[in-house]
Structure 1
């Protein structure tokens, strides 16, 4: 088979949406292809860590454990692909997956040595992308299948390609984003630092400080988020996030880069001024990362979370799905990310007898598809 034809078949996988046929080696083939692709990327990250890994992140994980995870993933992917090839099921898909595994092995696999390297080189967050994609997909796809809100919604639902592109870009540009955010925080918020206040905040008991950091971050996020809804110029950017017509673990990744940067600067800037401990801030970042994905997920949580008092306290998919609805009663409502009572206090909570909305997206469906067109949308929209 000629390589252009093979490439065309491979890329066709990423143009498809809908449920995959079972019993034809396609589901396991896609898993094997994904793991094979990640294995190749991981090998490249081992070869060029100074350019392809995130300095802050690589200080926190154990390389030996990552090597073992990589080996297990390669064995699983190779086994799936080989079994399907023996049974003559989706040969081109599984053949490509097996070729990727062999390529990763030929490049050194999980045994690639990592020598000393400088920390101050320009980089892209390939390691962050690999780890987050692997972890998020394994955790949240499983949760969505075990406790689905919309049972007939497939993993590869319409528009997943756009959200996955947002996911890739947001992760690979983490280095540039951190550089811009850190620069902006020190330039915009540095003059506001008051050491006595930082000393008091840093001296709080751990759980009191953790609660306070989440509360403060959510209050800043609430008003920043509300501004993106109520100021027409800012809505141009935020409309990108709201254009997702299906809610799942990838939908939260659909963000305009301008909004991503400004929101992070506003939240982390306030946390910096108040002087929260680095450990507490790191835990908050883990919590907000999980909750941001979970609250967009295609998940039905236990009914107790939809009733008082929990519905007034914690933001869950029940609460946040309404924020993404294009129904009139949901417009400009449910802004909070962590504590639902913030919306109840400021009078912006949705009032509905229904537990979930029936439709998502922007009112009027005016957002173009595709990552590039969505990034350009705020500057080209005539509305």
Structure 2
């Protein structure tokens, strides 16, 4: 509570203040819109939900979460309308949740979920966004590296669009990875190696998978920075001038496909167990958000074992001394191994982004940017 009070005292009138209705308005709008999307998932489960992800949660959990979202949207929307002169957020939340109820709400029933050749990961997007926001927004306000950075900072809509697309296309990415793995399986698979890997305890497999994956990601990441045509795609990720939990989502879709394939295919060919792979995928999800977050963590000795925010922030720094440094995604040990480790004690970058001309704003313009014949922004 002392940290919360100190935050509001420090920011004064510019902060979201309890009692003015703005916080309730934003939460109402967000939960209302997410509830509407969740109802669409119940109406079209075979088309809008990812079959592999449905195994992670139960139908009852989804219905309970939807009920909580609807109640929060109505309740907080009413509070916003009563307390704040700008009532459009509360109205947005109440209209969205009202439409969700009109379409059936938590009462939508289905006997079974049919099969479709391709489905979108709308359920994955909803839960990932909800959990990330609930965890990281409070952390960024209470333990901020940059206390002045607002939740709705410039270009947050662009990064939210990237977050949406990358989660919605999860099955397409998995199909691409599986097809690549099948193509290579005929000559790259060793039964002896796979048998040895699978005989190891799951925790050992997990540690091995993290290190093997980071070796692959390290060299792929390094190529992104030194090969001009690859940098044009990777520059999209580095174009953000603010670092927070949402900034890591800004990745060109072509890079997503290449990186996921380059990392997951070797793990699949080596024969790591499903449990070890699932644990690694969870680590990716957590670390990708945490490494970019506006969270000031004093990692101590962990700074040399795990990629934490300060380490990865320096990779994004607009600082001449940090060009071509800190490529590792999971552990700085890989950078130490190849001579690209650099971390000043107790210091954080002051500027982020690419050198030279800034990239265009907006996801569509940035997706087209690497395909244009022009000089790319210089690597940061």
What TM-score comes out, normalization by structure 1 length?
0.91
Confirm whether residue 323 of structure 1 aligns to residue 319 of structure 2.
no
Cα separation, 1, equivalents of 2:23 and 2:228: 43
Confirm whether residue 144 of structure 1 aligns to residue 122 of structure 2.
no
User: Do the aligned residues in 2 keep the contact of 1:45 with 1:53 (CA within 8 Å)?
Assistant: yes
Confirm whether residue 72 of structure 1 aligns to residue 68 of structure 2.
yes
Gaps of 5+ in 2: 1-12, 376-380
- The 5 Å alignment of 1:1-383 reads 22=17, 23-87=19-83, 89-302=85-298, 305=299, 307=300, 309-350=301-342, 352-353=344-345, 355-383=347-375
Task: Describe the superposition over 1:89-131 as per-residue Cα deviations: whole angstroms up to 9, x where unpaired.
Answer: 4223212211111111111111211221323332111111111
Of stretches 19-28 and 97-106 in structure 1, the one that deviates more from structure 2 is 19-28
Cα separation, 1, equivalents of 2:30 and 2:343: 42
**What secondary structure is seen at the aligned counterpart in 1 of 2:138?**
helix
User: Do the aligned residues in 2 keep the contact of 1:329 with 1:350 (CA within 8 Å)?
Assistant: no
Q: Which residue of 2 aligns with 1:8?
A: none
Task: Describe the superposition over 1:42-95 as per-residue Cα deviations: whole angstroms up to 9, x where unpaired.
Answer: 011001100000010012211101111111121111111112323464223212
User: Do the aligned residues in 1 keep the contact of 2:240 with 2:352 (CA within 8 Å)?
Assistant: yes
| RMSD, matched Cα | 1.7
- CA positional deviation for 1:257: 0.6
User: Do the aligned residues in 2 keep the contact of 1:40 with 1:104 (CA within 8 Å)?
Assistant: yes
**What secondary structure is seen at the aligned counterpart in 1 of 2:76?**
helix
Gaps of 5+ in 1: 1-17
- CA positional deviation for 1:345: 1.6
Of stretches 241-250 and 84-93 in structure 1, the one that deviates more from structure 2 is 84-93
What TM-score comes out, normalization by structure 2 length?
0.91
**What secondary structure is seen at the aligned counterpart in 2 of 1:263?**
helix
Q: Which residue of 1 aligns with 2:3?
A: none
- Counting matched residue pairs gives 362
Structure 1 residues 317, 381: closer, same or farther in 2, change over 3 A?
Answer: farther
Cα separation, 2, equivalents of 1:146 and 1:214: 30
- CA positional deviation for 1:20: 6.2
Structure 1 residues 198, 80: closer, same or farther in 2, change over 3 A?
Answer: same
- CA positional deviation for 1:250: 0.5
